[in-house]
Amino acid sequence: MSVQERKQRERAERERLIVATARELAEQQGWDAVTTRRLAERIEYSQPVLYSHFRGKREIIGAVALDGAAEMAVALRTATAAADGPRPRVTALARAYLDFAARNPAVYDAMFQLDGGLAFAHEDTPEPLKDAFAALLESLGEVAGDGVHPGLFTEVFWAALHGLATLTRAGRLPPEDAESRVELLVDRLAVV
C-alpha cells in the first residue's frame, strides 16, 4: 500500500469516526450538544482536524443524514422483502419506517428536520437520499392506483408516515394506537 493510499484510508476512517461520534452524541444528548469542540474532545483530535473534514456542524449533520438514508433504505427493503403480496409489503414498509424513526430520533432529525445542506427532489440530490425514496417507491408504486402517478403517491404516503413519526415522537398521538394508525393508512391510501 502506498503512502497516499494509507493517508486516504486514515482520512476516511477519521471521517467515519467524526460522523459516528456526532451521531452518538446527538442520540444521547440532542443536536445542540454536538459542537466541534465537543467532537474534537471525544475523538481526541484537534478542531482544525475536524474542519479539514467538515466545514462545520451543518456538513456533519448532512453526513449523518446520508448515512441514515442508506440505513433506512436497507431497513425498508429488508422489511418488504419478507412480505408476501402488495398489502403486507406496504404494511411492513410503514412499520419499518416508523420503527426506524423511533429508534433513531437524532438521525431522523438530521434527515428531515435539520439543515444538513442537502438538496431533496433535485438533480443534485445525493444518491443515498434518492435510494431511500426509491425504497419507498418500490413498494408504494404498485399500490398507487389507476391514473395516479406512483411518485406523487409515494410522496403523499411518505408525508403521512413522516407526520405519524413526528407527532408520535412529540407525544401528540397516543402510542397504544400506533398499529391502528398503520392499518388505517394502508387501508385508506393503498389500492390493494
What is the b/e burial string over 58-92, where b = at least 16 CB atoms within 10 angstroms of the residue's CB?
Answer: eebbbbbbbbbbbbbbebbbebbeebeebeebbbb
Task: Name the residue among 126, 13, 10, 15 with its Cα closest to residue 65.
Answer: 126
Number of residues assigned to the chain: 192
pLDDT higher than threshold 90 for residue 157: yes
Give 144-152's long-range contacts (Cβ < 8 A, gap of 24+).
144/191, 145/191, 146/191, 148/191
Query: What's the grid cell of residue 79?
Result: 422489511
pLDDT higher than threshold 80 for residue 38: yes
Average pLDDT score over the chain: 95
pLDDT at 178: 95
Give pLDDT tens digits for 56-107: 999 999 999 999 999 999 999 999 999 999 999 999 999 999 999 999 999 9
CA distance 24 to 28: 6
pLDDT at 151: 96
Q: What's the whole-number mean pLDDT along residues 162-166?
A: 97
Per the CB < 8 A criterion, the answer to whether 42 and 60 are in contact is: no
pLDDT higher than threshold 90 for residue 192: no
pLDDT higher than threshold 80 for residue 187: yes
Per the CB < 8 A criterion, the answer to whether 117 and 59 are in contact is: yes
pLDDT category, 1, cuts 50, 70, 90?
confident
CA neighbours closer than 13 Å in the CB half-sphere of residue 2: 3
pTM: 0.93
